């Protein structure tokens, strides 16, 4: 090439131009621009680019700025390195001027720039011939190599290669998960498609390795190889079965909403045909845990997944606060502001004593206790204080209603209904028949009752 350009010695404006005309968006830093032009320069040589994609006015403005830099270099006392950079900048301007297609309105400005370029080129040649340090010729085969002292970051990808080759595929695991993992790794480490394809033989084992040896002559890029992988090792009804798994994948008890939605997003991305957003939202609303129902019901209409995530996260935050809530501390001797301390409900001793007096009967001769026993002796006989206390403890569960099944008073000794046997005022030493009231005998020995009793003899 007659006018070789060493891109790495150009400054930022010229690097942005060289990257842009090769079809890529220029980076923000000089380091990024040098990485881009190092890849694009060998692919798109300067002499192969015949027309600029910039406007004529913008292109001529850039040419004028570059010519001013050449003028400044020549006005100083240039050494060998300055002359090399100036020559490289003139070569850049030569190709740039040849790509500009001007019209009648921009023709005068273009002619002025071309005339100044020729004048500066002639001046440069005269300075170069008289300089003590001559400019060495640049090999045509290495247009991107610069002899100027430029700081270039060199990175070794040996560690990336070792980590990448740990990812294996044997033909039995999920092929889509394998392709996705390889793609993510290469994007993180900036591994090119060409280099990735050269590593392919180290990814496969078992049946997948036999398959790769058979098809490696048919592919020229990793994209083509990944497409064949999915065709040959993917299940035919993959989308149908994965769709069923997606619809049955509910939120686990220990999963928060952020983790669950991230997992569901990964499942959605595995589908060959992406689902519409409204269908995704419907699946998520059915599969999240029911505890969010009250929060979502009180919210406005949920139209996207981000709104759903925000509402559920607010619910989780409130539940976390409720779990962390603690009752206020009591006032102690070390409290600095006791008048502001929480006192709560205080049950003093006097109230407790009054409460106990209403439900404790220590004296068996108490009139209320005797009256209670006299009214309830037949229905609920109490022989000691323990039975009474049991009844007293269960009073809240007993309705104070007289039932029709209650027994009437009857004394078998006196044969009347005015009192019961325990309250009988008769002499208890005298014996009576409890059935007929015959005096002096007991019921089994009563002659009157025996007469009325039928015979039980088997004969």
pLDDT at 137 > cutoff 60: no
Q: What is the DSSP letter of 330?
A: B
Q: Are 117 and 93 in contact (CB under 8 A)?
A: yes
Q: What is the pLDDT of residue 147?
A: 41
* Phi and psi, residue 400, nearest 5°: -85, 65
Q: Are 330 and 342 in contact (CB under 8 A)?
A: yes
Averaged pLDDT of the chain: 77
Q: Give Cα separations from 217 to 60, 115, 194, 199, 244 (angstroms).
A: 49, 55, 14, 15, 37
| Cα distance between residue 396 and residue 5, in whole Å | 102
Full-model pTM: 0.38
Q: What is the pLDDT of residue 187?
A: 83
Nearest to 380 by CA among 403, 358, 356: 403
| Cα distance between residue 398 and residue 259, in whole Å | 54
Q: What is the pLDDT of residue 141?
A: 37
Nearest to 102 by CA among 29, 169, 163, 52: 52
454: left (phi over 0), alpha (psi -120 to 50) or beta: beta
Torsion sign over Cα 392, 397, 400, 405 = negative
- Ranking 104-108, 132-136, 163-167, 281-285 by mean pLDDT, the lowest is 132-136
Is 178 exposed, middle or buried, given 0-12, 13-18 or 19+ CB atoms closer than 10 A?
Answer: buried
Q: What is the pLDDT of residue 284?
A: 92
Q: What is the pLDDT of residue 350?
A: 52
pLDDT at 431 > cutoff 90: no
Kindly report the CA angle at 211 between 205 and 215, in degrees rounded to 5?
A: 130
Q: What is the pLDDT of residue 264?
A: 92
- List, for residues 249-291, the tens digit of each pLDDT value: 999 988 999 999 999 999 998 888 889 999 999 999 999 999 9
Q: What is the pLDDT of residue 149?
A: 43
Quick one: average pLDDT of 319-326?
89
- List, for residues 141-193, the tens digit of each pLDDT value: 344 444 444 444 444 455 667 777 788 888 888 888 888 888 888 888 888 88
pLDDT more than 90, % of the chain: 7
Q: Are 42 and 144 in contact (CB under 8 A)?
A: yes
86 or 444, which is more confident: 86
């Amino acid at each position: 090439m007659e006018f070789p350009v060493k891109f790495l010695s150009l400054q930022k404006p010229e690097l942005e131009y060289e990257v842009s005309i090769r079809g890529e968006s220029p980076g923000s830093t000089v380091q990024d621009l040098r990485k881009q032009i190092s890849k694009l320069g060998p692919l798109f040589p300067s002499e192969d680019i015949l027309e600029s994609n910039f406007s004529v006015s913008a292109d001529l403005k850039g040419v004028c700025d570059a010519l001013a830099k050449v003028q400044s270099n020549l006005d100083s006392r240039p050494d060998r390195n300055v002359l090399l950079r100036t020559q490289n900048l003139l070569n850049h301007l030569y190709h740039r001027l040849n790509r500009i297609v001007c019209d009648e309105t921009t023709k005068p400005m273009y002619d002025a720039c071309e005339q100044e370029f020729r004048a500066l080129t002639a001046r440069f040649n005269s300075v170069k011939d008289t300089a003590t340090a001559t400019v060495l010729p640049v090999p045509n085969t290495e247009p991107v190599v610069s002899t100027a002292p430029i700081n270039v970051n060199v990175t070794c990808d040996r560690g990336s290669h070792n980590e990448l080759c740990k990812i294996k595929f044997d033909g039995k695991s999920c092929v889509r998960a394998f392709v996705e993992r390889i793609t993510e790794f290469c994007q993180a480490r900036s591994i090119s498609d060409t280099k990735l394809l050269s590593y392919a033989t180290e990814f496969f084992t078992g049946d997948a390795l036999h398959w790769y040896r058979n098809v490696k002559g048919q592919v020229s890029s990793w994209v083509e190889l990944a497409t064949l992988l999915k065709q040959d090792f993917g299940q035919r009804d993959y989308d149908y079965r994965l769709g069923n798994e997606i619809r049955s994948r509910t939120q686990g008890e220990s999963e928060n909403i952020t983790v669950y939605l991230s997992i569901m997003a990964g499942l959605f991305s595995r589908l060959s045909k992406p689902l519409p957003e409204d269908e995704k939202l419907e699946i998520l609303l059915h599969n999240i845990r029911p505890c969010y129902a009250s929060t979502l019901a009180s919210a406005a209409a949920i139209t996207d997944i981000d709104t759903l995530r925000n509402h559920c996260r607010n619910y989780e935050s409130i539940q976390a606060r409720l779990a962390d809530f603690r009752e206020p501390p009591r006032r102690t001797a070390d409290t600095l502001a006791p008048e502001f301390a929480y006192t709560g409900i205080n049950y003093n001793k006097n109230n407790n004593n009054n409460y106990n007096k209403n439900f404790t009967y220590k004296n068996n001769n108490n009139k209320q206790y005797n009256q209670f026993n006299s009214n309830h002796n037949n229905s609920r006989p109490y022989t000691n204080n323990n039975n009474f206390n049991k009844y007293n403890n269960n009073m809240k569960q007993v309705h104070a209603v007289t039932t029709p099944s209650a027994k009437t008073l009857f004394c078998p000794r006196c044969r009347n209904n005015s009192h019961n046997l325990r309250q009988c005022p008769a002499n208890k030493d005298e014996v009576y028949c409890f059935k007929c009231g015959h005096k002096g005998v007991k019921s089994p020995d009563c002659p009157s009752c025996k007469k009325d009793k039928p015979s039980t003899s088997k004969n």
